[in-house]
Structures are given as C-alpha cells and as structure tokens.
Structure 1
Amino acid sequence: MQACAALGRPALPLQLRRPLHARPAVRLQRGMAVRASMAGAGAGDDPYQVLGVPPNADSTTIQRAYKKKLSEVKGKDEAAQQRIEAAHSQLMMAGLSARLKGGVSVEKDVLYADRARYFPWRPRLWMAAYDILMYSAVAQALMLAWALLSPLTAGTQPVIWSAIAGAVGNIIKQNRLYPVPKGGPDSPPDEKKQGSKNILRGFFLAFLATFCGCFFFYTLPDAVAAQLGRVMPVWFYEGQSMLLAIGTCTMNWLFTAFTR
C-alpha cells in the first residue's frame, strides 16, 4: 500500500486484491462449465431413434435419414432440428472414433472420408429398391422388344428411349438417396442445389450406360477385328441397330439397378 501511495495510485482493499495466477483458473472453470453444458444437451436422446435408423445402419443410410428429417422440421421446430443435428453429429463422431481406434469394421465412406477422391462422380455400387428394379426391367424390356421386333422401322430410336428411361430411373433413385430439402427460400445454397444435382447425376449415369452399351457391344468388337486384320460376319453389320439396342438396354438396366 505504501508503494501504491508513493506512485500516486489508490490502494485497493484487501478483498479486491487477488493473485494474478487465480484469474485464468476462473476463466478455465467457466469454459469447462460451458463445454459440459453443451456436451450434456440432448444426451438422453438415442441418436438412432432420433434419426429413425437401425443401430447397424451405414453412413449413407444415416446421411439420407438426417437430410430427410431435417427437411421436415427445418423452420418449423427449432428444438427438433437441434436434436436431429446433435444425433447426426454424435453418430459421425462415433464412426470417426471407431476408425481411429482400429480393429473395427468401418465403412469405406467413413474410413477414407479425409482422403482426396479421384473421379468423385464415378458410379458406385448400390442396390436399388424393388420398385425401381421392376420399373427399369420393364422399360428396358419394352425398348429391346421394339428393336428386335421392328428393326427396319425402329432404327436407333430404342437406343434413345432406353437412355431416357435410364435417366428417369436414376433420377428417382438419386432423389431417394439424397432427398430434396423443403426448407423454402431460407435453405442454405447447398441444399437448394440438391435437386439439380440429382438430375445431373441421373443423366450422367444414363449417358455413361448408353456409351458403354454401344462401345462394348459394337464398337469394340469391330475395332478388335480391324486390328487383327479380320472382318466381322455380315449379320454383325446388318444388325447394327439391334446390337446397339441390346447393349444400351442391358447397360442402362445394370446402371439403374446397381449403381448410384
């Protein structure tokens, strides 16, 4: 106090004077309390029940359920939205922890989530629902029957319509895997673009299937024969339209039924 008086500063009462090292401890305790309260929010909720998925659900099913649930309550029920987001975060962190610990079977999408993906638009193996399988089989069978029963009048039209039917089936499948949010104009930009992404993905898969069908069923055999110095049989060239239709219908059904 004498030193303070000598410097012209007012002396502080004893109860207001505390060691400087005590102040960070107070801040630390407050920060721990805030984090604890945040961690305990919604701790009693089962994340699987909140998202409506079984305990053995994979990351794709969890992501699909999360987007669907979020689109239903966004802008309507803030508490439900927070529970859904907390459940999704909890399950994602559980998958990451399983990966870091090792010795646990983790899905590839989670295992390599932090790695750069080459060709992110590449088709990935995925089994379609039964109704999409049946729709694709009937549509492609009709196109194939058209090409085989009326080869002179059909021409390449079955190829074109097969690609269109494949695009429709893939768009329906993408909309089920990645539902379009219904949040309205207040939705984030990424969610607003989901519908256009699904359409582009569907047309991309149909284009790739049509290209593969034409290439493997007609172009490749003809190129291999030319490289070997041989000529394909006459029926191969006379039945070009039918071969293209067979390849296109087959590949469009496979891509719609087993890729995403």
Structure 2
Amino acid sequence: MTRFPRTIIKSSWKCGARISLAQSAGRLTRRHPLRTCASSAAGEDPYKVFGLSRNANSDAVNRAYKRKLAENRGDEAALARIEEAHSAIMMSQLTARLQGGVAVEKDIKYADRAVYFPWRPRLYKASKEVILYSGIAHAVMAAWGLLLRASAGSQPIVACAVIGAGANIYKLQQIFPPGPSGSSSENSALKNLLRGAALATLATFLGCFLIFTVPDFLAAQLNRQMPYWFYESEQALLALGTALSNWVMSSFFR
C-alpha cells in the first residue's frame, strides 16, 4: 500500500470544495495503482472522460465530476472509470502545484485559513436560460406591484422571493447535481434547497432595505423629507426592489 507523506496530506485540497487528499489517496490505493494524469488504465486522457480541456480549472473539473457521477448512477464500470480519471487529475494538479508549475487559485491557496462567512454568495453567471426566464418572471411581478399597487399589497414581494428561490435552486442543481447513494455529494439536493432559499431571503431583504429604508434614513439624517409619493408608493417600491435584487442574485451569484 502506497504511503503519502504527512506534509502532503496536510496541504491537500479538493478541486473547488477542499476535499482532503487523504480521501483521494484512499481511492487510489484501494482501487488503482498511482498513475499520472497523462493516461489511465486504458491509455485515455482523464480530461476527455469529463469532456474538458487540459486547461480546465478546478471548479470545472469538480462540476463535471459530480455531473458524471449523477449521469452514470448504478453503472459500476462507468463510475470506476470516472473515479480513476478524477483521481488522476487531482494527483496531477497536486504535483504541479507542489512544483510551482501552475497558479494556485485563491480559495485553494488560503484553504487552511478560517473562513468567517462560508455561506456568503459568490459571483457566478447563470446560464442564459436562467437569466432570461428569471428576468421575465421578476419583471411581471414588478409590473404587478407598480401598476396594481392598490390591490396587490405585499403579494408581488412574496412572489418575487419564491421565484428567486426557485431560480437559485434550479441553478444550484446544475452546478452541484446530487451524487449517487453513499457518495460525498449525496446530500447536495438538500443543500441546494436550503442555499437557494437563503439566497432568495437575502436578496429580498436587500431589495427592500436599499430601495426604501436607505433613502428614508438618509433623508432623515440630512433633515430632509422624502416626497409624498415615496411613502404613498411604499409597496410598489418594495416590489420593484425585491424583483430587481432577486433577479440579480439568481443570475449572477450562487
């Protein structure tokens, strides 16, 4: 059984999610002898197993790995091939980083430092489909709140939060698809659900806060008074702010 130096295991990381090298090393030693990224048992390029180019970053590798696991659930031969290719890429990237051959990503470079806000939103551009349909849905809700503010009340605000949560969950399911039973990504569906709802809640709060509370507070600090229509249109403004903030969150953050 191959033994890895303790210093290597301590400095290990997962592509994009900081999995320990000890887990990857365990898979290698249990299933396959150590190989370089140049070839697998069949002599194939492990990057081609995931449909990636050799300059793909760790996030792209991790997403493709989880997607392949989900697509081949129950196919032991295919899963073994995917695990072997993933392990080969990880070992190749580790070797290159230890030798200073590639630039280390910020999240990996400082992986041993405490993360004060691990749940914080991160920049991520969603697919054109999500951006378009989310934009249309939120525009309809904003129009509802603006044009029918006398009867709409807070319903457009609630609807925007629900639409935002749905768009976030759909997007996260594409980025982090649930893995097969027993895998490290098995609980991704629940995590995506909770994170999608949390992102929508945050966006709703920020939209209401920035479009109504902040202007009112600044006016008070400057001994000014906002126009009468500002207070008269409170629900409409809150609907507009909620729609805009939820669209931005679902389109450009994860």
Tell me the TM-score normalized by structure 2: 0.79
Q: 2:175 aligns with which of 167, 174, 177?
A: 177
Q: Which amino acid aligns with 2:203?
A: A
Q: Could you report, residue by residue, the CA deviation over 1:12-63 in whole angstroms, capped at 9, with x for unpaired residues?
A: xxxxxxxxxxxxxxxxxxxxxx99x712463722111112222232222211
Q: Which residue of structure 1 aligns with residue 121 of structure 2?
A: 123
- 1:38 alignment partner, SS class: coil
Gaps of 5+ in 1: 1-33
RMSD of the TM alignment (CA)? 2.2
Q: Could you report, residue by residue, the CA deviation over 1:208-254 in whole angstroms, capped at 9, with x for unpaired residues?
A: 10011001111111122223332212111111111111111111110
Q: 2:195 aligns with which of 187, 201, 204?
A: 201
Residue 220 (structure 2) pairs with residue 255 (structure 1):
no
111-120 or 166-175: bigger deviation? 111-120
State how far apart, in whole Å, the 2-side matches of 1:159 and 1:169 are: 15
State how far apart, in whole Å, the 2-side matches of 1:225 and 1:103 are: 55
Q: Which residue of structure 1 aligns with residue 46 of structure 2?
A: 47
Q: 2:166 aligns with which of 165, 168, 171?
A: 168
Task: Choose between structure 1 and 2: higher helix proportion.
Answer: 1
102-111 or 55-64: bigger deviation? 102-111
State how far apart, in whole Å, the 2-side matches of 1:89 and 1:248 are: 44
Moved over 4 A (4+): none
Q: Which residue of structure 2 aligns with residue 240 of structure 1?
A: 234
Q: 1:43 to 1:227 in 2, by over 3 A?
A: farther
Q: Could you report, residue by residue, the CA deviation over 1:179-218 in whole angstroms, capped at 9, with x for unpaired residues?
A: 122x3xxx12743321111111110110010011001111
CA contact (8 A) 2:66 2:185 kept: no
- Post-superposition offset of 1:153: 0.7
- Post-superposition offset of 1:256: 0.6
* Percent identical: 51
106-115 or 153-162: bigger deviation? 106-115
CA contact (8 A) 2:146 2:237 kept: no
Residues 138-177 of structure 1 aligned to structure 2 (within 5 Å): 138-177=136-175
- Post-superposition offset of 1:103: 6.5
State how far apart, in whole Å, the 1-side matches of 2:175 and 2:115 are: 20
Gaps of 5+ in 2: 1-28
Q: Which residue of structure 2 aligns with residue 59 of structure 1?
A: 58
CA contact (8 A) 1:96 1:110 kept: no
Larger Rg: 1
- Post-superposition offset of 1:102: 3.4
State how far apart, in whole Å, the 1-side matches of 2:47 and 2:112 are: 24
- Post-superposition offset of 1:74: 4.1
Q: 1:103 to 1:64 in 2, by over 3 A?
A: closer
Aligned residues: 221
Tell me the TM-score normalized by structure 1: 0.78
State how far apart, in whole Å, the 1-side matches of 2:228 and 2:78 are: 68
Q: Which amino acid aligns with 2:174?
A: R
Q: Which amino acid aligns with 1:208?
A: L
Q: Which amino acid aligns with 1:130?
A: K
- Post-superposition offset of 1:105: 3.1
